[in-house]
């Protein structure tokens, strides 16, 4: 066990219990970030919000799912650290996502894949109000936390390990179960292909600055987007 890994475990243990939530909280405090989000992906088909440190992180994670782009998606697909010093300057990379990020007052982000061996189970986003990059020391510590969070995610969500893996693809990785259900309802109501129904829901959520799961809940209740 290297020094960063040992230090991360020590910080987590100081929280009083060991869980995905306490590890995420320890990570945010240790790396001095303003909020943190963890998204988990099951076989490329279903996506779960593993943890959000606050409502800002929750909305930023959902914005990536709605727009189909962002640091979490890139870190998961590319299996590597992704960082942006100033989200105000990232329009060319993530045009839709960067429109959502300033609304939550975040200026910079570092995303790390959550991987155990060859299995990637999601990604962690570290958000900061101030522009700038994490130091080399904090990046090394962040990688240690990412390995630990991956193990804790598997402990709390063992289906991440047993589900058959599918090749990653461009765009959002997985959707919450309620979104799949709502897409089916919308497809039936408007005689759409499932992918077209999903696209229509994402466009509606983005246009109205609404979390995708809320759009799905509305469709499930009213059987319409209106």
Task: Assign residue 206 the CATH number of its domain.
Answer: 1.10.10
Give the pLDDT score at 187. 87
Considering the domain architecture, whether residues 152 and 199 belong to the same structural domain is answered as no
Number of domains into which the chain is organized: 2
Q: Of the candidates 114, 130, 162, which is a domain's last residue?
A: 162
Considering the domain architecture, whether residues 22 and 100 belong to the same structural domain is answered as yes
First and final CA of the chain: distance in angstroms? 54
Give the pLDDT score at 183. 86
Low-confidence ranges of the chain (pLDDT < 70): 1, 43-46, 100-104, 161-174
Give the pLDDT score at 130. 94
**What letter does residue 103 receive in the DSSP assignment?**
G
Which residues sit opposite 47 in a β-bridge?
41
Give the pLDDT score at 129. 94
Considering the domain architecture, whether residues 42 and 125 belong to the same structural domain is answered as yes
Contact predicate 220/178, CB 8 Å? yes
Contact predicate 66/103, CB 8 Å? no
Using DSSP's 3-state secondary structure scheme, residue 49 falls into strand
- pLDDT (tens digit, 9 = 90+) per residue, 27-67? 999 999 999 999 988 766 667 888 999 999 998 888 887 77
CATH number of the domain at 34, please. Answer: 3.30.450.40
Q: Which domain holds residue 128?
A: 3-162
Give the pLDDT score at 80. 95
Give the pLDDT score at 136. 95
CA distance 72 to 168: 13
Considering the domain architecture, whether residues 57 and 130 belong to the same structural domain is answered as yes
């Amino acid at each position: 066990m290297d020094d960063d890994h040992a230090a991360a475990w020590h910080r987590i243990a100081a929280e009083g219990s060991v869980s995905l939530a306490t590890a995420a909280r320890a990570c945010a405090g240790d790396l001095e970030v303003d909020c943190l989000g963890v998204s988990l992906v099951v076989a490329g088909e279903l996506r779960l919000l593993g943890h959000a440190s606050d409502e800002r992180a929750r909305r930023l994670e959902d914005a990536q799912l709605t727009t189909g782009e962002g640091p979490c998606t890139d870190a998961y697909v590319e299996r590597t650290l992704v960082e942006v010093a100033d989200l105000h300057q990232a329009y060319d990379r993530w045009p839709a996502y960067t429109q959502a990020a300033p609304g939550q007052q975040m200026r910079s982000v570092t995303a790390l894949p959550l991987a155990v061996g060859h299995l990637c189970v999601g990604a962690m986003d570290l958000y900061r109000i101030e522009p700038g990059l994490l130091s080399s020391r904090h990046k090394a510590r962040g990688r240690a936390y990412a390995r630990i969070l991956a193990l804790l995610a598997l402990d709390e969500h063992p289906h991440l390990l047993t589900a058959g893996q599918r090749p990653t693809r461009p765009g959002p990785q997985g959707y919450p179960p309620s979104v799949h259900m709502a897409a089916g309802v919308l497809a039936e109501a408007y005689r759409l292909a499932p992918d077209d129904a999903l696209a229509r829901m994402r466009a509606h959520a983005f246009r109205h600055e609404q979390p995708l799961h809320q759009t799905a809940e509305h469709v499930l209740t009213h059987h319409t987007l209106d």
